A and B are shown apart, each in its own frame.
Chain A
Amino acid sequence: MLRVLLAKDLLRARRNPLPWLINLLMPLCMTALIGLAFGGKSDNGALGRIRFAVVDEDRTVLSDFMRGAANQREGGKYLEPVFLGRDEALRQILDNQLSAAVIIPTNFTRNYLLGSEKVSLELVKNPAESIHPAVLEELLGAVVTAMNAVAENFQSDFPELRAVFEGKEDYHKVSELIDRAGDKLKAAKNYIDPPLVSYEKEVPAVESNDGALEGGGTKSGAAKSAPAFNLFAYLLVGLAGMFLLFLASTGMADLHREVRLRTFERYHTLHQQLLPFVAGKVLFAVVMLLLSGAVMLGGGGLIFRIPWQQPAALALLVLGYAGFAAGLMAVLVALVPDERRATALNTIAGMALGLAGGCAFPPQQLPAFLREHITPRLPSFWFVDTARALQSGGADVPWLLVTLKLLGLGMVLIGIAVMLFHRRFRQGLRA
């Protein structure tokens, strides 16, 4: 019977797919909008290289040095400077080809070394981007801080340095300058090394082929690192968590239509037990949620080039979550006889569960009380947290336990919904 009920509902959904399509496309569009607004690129989900212009209007050795430093070593991995004139740089920013332009103004080196006038570097940011220009601004701030520190400590050497940059000094003087600079840095060594505050990235230990544990990447360069943080994956999992609830609401709201159309009643004139009918609708909702999950996460993965780390575990987790979502919405439908009120309540419940469960915002950003006492108890949090943990490459993520918990909860909710419907029928079921 479940197969017949499912076939009927799938046929009806195929003939009227609009409500499903809206809820299906929303998370994909939102992921794209939010991801692109925050500058996320689809290549491995990392921020990508920051393309910016360096406009050197000073044309001195120091400005050449600054130009060259921008794409050396580590900088080359993340920065992609192009050297342009001011007009061309501004044009390319307007065309959205550049994230920003750093302008080294005329007489920058001269004024810096004279120390007589305040000097400034100019940064023109692309208003259509947010992350990349902000990163450049921070970097430029660091450069300015360093240049200020140099100016403070090496001011006495500036006249000679100026002569060097202007090509008036001989190499003996240059070597003396380097020697003196070395002495000053040696004196400062005690303050710099060891640093008072340090940061160390933790790399999980990975078992190598010979069974020995390797960790920290210190002894062996072959140590496997965790997958890079992927903004699109993070967003998509969260939004999927919320929109699967809305889709479950769409699926289970069909029970309201069955009540309104009297088809539920007609079924009851043929069968005494209501469980098969409600279970059939839950099965339909679960199937639709699985299809939607596949479109959202699978299709979204292809669109945004997200390499899902454990797709099978993620699929089972979606199954568990679908069971829970359908059960929850069945209870809400059974509780509220009025279709319009129930739709509003379901939407509010979906949004509340999504927001408080960390689907839309990172759970760390939620208010303390919510974060500590409510969020961990929400099934929506169980789902997104586990899915995100799976995606971040965690080896010991308890996804199976979470899946079973979600499925178990879904079954309990279905049982409650059936009881509520029996009670409503006894009292005279009306839409």
Chain B
Amino acid sequence: MSLLKVERLSKAFGAIRAADSVSFEVRPGEIYGLLGPNGAGKTTTISMISGLLKPDAGEVFVGGKSFWSDPRQAKRIMGVVPQELAIYEELTGRENLEFWGRMAGLGYGEARSRAVELLEALTLTDRAKDAVKTYSGGMKRRINLGCALLHRPQLLLLDEPTVGIDPQARLNILEFIRNLRASGTAILYTTHYLEEAETLCQRIGILDHGRLLAEGTLAELQERLGGDRVFLLEADFKGASPEAWDGFLQRFRVIQKTERQLVVAAIGTRDPSECLKDLLGLPVRVENVTLKRPSLNDVFLQLTGRDLRE
């Protein structure tokens, strides 16, 4: 049974549809990645799931029960890590953890011991008594994450928890999240970093302009491109029209075409060398061909016509 189920969730701010009929579910011990560029509707979706925003339409089920039928119970099950650092800079790391533990309903002693545990798990014990304002960006992010874990939530909502930190700090946080997943926590993880979604998440939903365009495992999403490899051609494609090339669209799916680049995936199970021969025979002077495994960016490209990194 899924711990979180989102059904046709919609929210509009004036004329802008921030979430448009979004549906997915997260199972215990799974990291579900919600991937999309800035403004795709990831934070709005998390805000609706955590009860900060009331959806215009749709339902959120937490632990099998509708969120709005018993919001207190639903909030007890989940922990939310906001994108911004929602911590008190004047307080020490330990004081922050203890405070949020008390807010989550823990007693004084329990909050204290849990804070010590988390400081150790987050490798912050030696800085526990320092004010958070003296921490590095990565350390602040770790405390921000820890503040949502005091009450041992079964469902963790992480809204871009690695934004703006160095690669090493990011690796530490991702490792910590993997450990949480291993302990059975269901995690909804929003990000616009492709690599994070690819390496961390068991299933990924691709969100753009408030709509969930596709979801599945990385392999399933790659499969949408028609295989496990794509070809990147560099040439002068100004004025060139793949539709006009004889039988080309029957053999290849165009993922992206620019003036200098053409990204295509072979349709059906064909030998790569055969595909290469086809491509070199095109009526343009091909300068370079690269064969690669399709990435999430290629999936996103195919779905939206835009590069996620743009």
Contacts and interface: CB of A to CB of B under 8 A. Distances in A.
B197 interface: no
A72 to B, nearest CB: 65
B106 to A, nearest CB: 10
B223 interface: no
Given A266-B100, A269-B80, A261 B52 contact: no
B87 A263 contact: yes
A11 interface: yes
A14 to B, nearest CB: 9
Interface in A240-290: 261-263, 265-272
A428 B53 contact: yes
A218 interface: no
B51 A12 contact: no
A267 B102 CA distance: 11
B82 A265 contact: yes
A261 B147 CA distance: 14
Contacts of A118: none
B51 to A, nearest CB: 7
B103 A1 contact: yes
A4 B88 contact: no
A270 B87 contact: no
Contacts of A426: 53-54
Contacts of B178: none
Contact of A269 (B50, B54, B102): B50
Contacts of A271: 72, 75, 103
A8 interface: yes
Given A4-B103, A11-B95, A15-B90, A269 B131 contact: no
B86 A261 contact: yes
Interface residues on B, range: 20 to 34
Contact of B91 (A8, A267, A272, A429): A8
Given A11-B95, A272-B51, A426-B54, A262 B102 contact: no
Interface in B95-124: 95, 99-100, 102-105
Given A4-B102, A266-B80, A268-B52, A261 B90 contact: no
B173 to A, nearest CB: 18
Contact of A16 (B47, B50, B90, B103): B90
A425 interface: yes
Interface residues on A, range: 20 to 34
A262 B90 contact: no
B39 interface: no
Contacts of A11: 90-91, 95
A256 to B, nearest CB: 14
Q: Secondary structure of the A side of the interface?
A: helix
A261 B51 contact: no
Q: Secondary structure of the B side of the interface?
A: loop
A281 to B, nearest CB: 13
Nearest to B78: A269
Interface string B50-68: 1111100000000000000
Given A269-B50, A269-B52, A8 B99 contact: yes
B54 A262 contact: no
B90 A265 contact: no
Interface string B233-277: 000000000000000000000000000000000000000000000
Contact of B71 (A12, A16, A267, A272): A272
A262 B86 contact: yes
A15 B52 contact: no
Interface in A343-389: none
A407 B212 CA distance: 52
Contacts of A1: 102-103
Given A426-B53, A428-B47, A267 B13 contact: no
B182 to A, nearest CB: 24
A15 B131 contact: yes
Contacts of A8: 88, 91, 95, 99
Nearest to B47: A428
Nearest to B95: A11
B194 interface: no
A251 to B, nearest CB: 15
B104 A261 contact: no
Interface of B: 13, 47, 50-54, 71-72, 75, 78, 80, 82, 84-88, 90-91, 95, 99-100, 102-105, 131, 147-148
Given A11-B95, A261-B87, A270-B105, 17 more contacts: A1-B103, A12-B88, A261-B84, A261-B88, A265-B86, A266-B80, A268-B51, A268-B52, A269-B52, A269-B80, A269-B82, A270-B75, A270-B104, A272-B72, A425-B53, A426-B53, A428-B53
Interface of A: 1, 4, 8, 11-12, 15-16, 261-263, 265-272, 425-426, 428-429
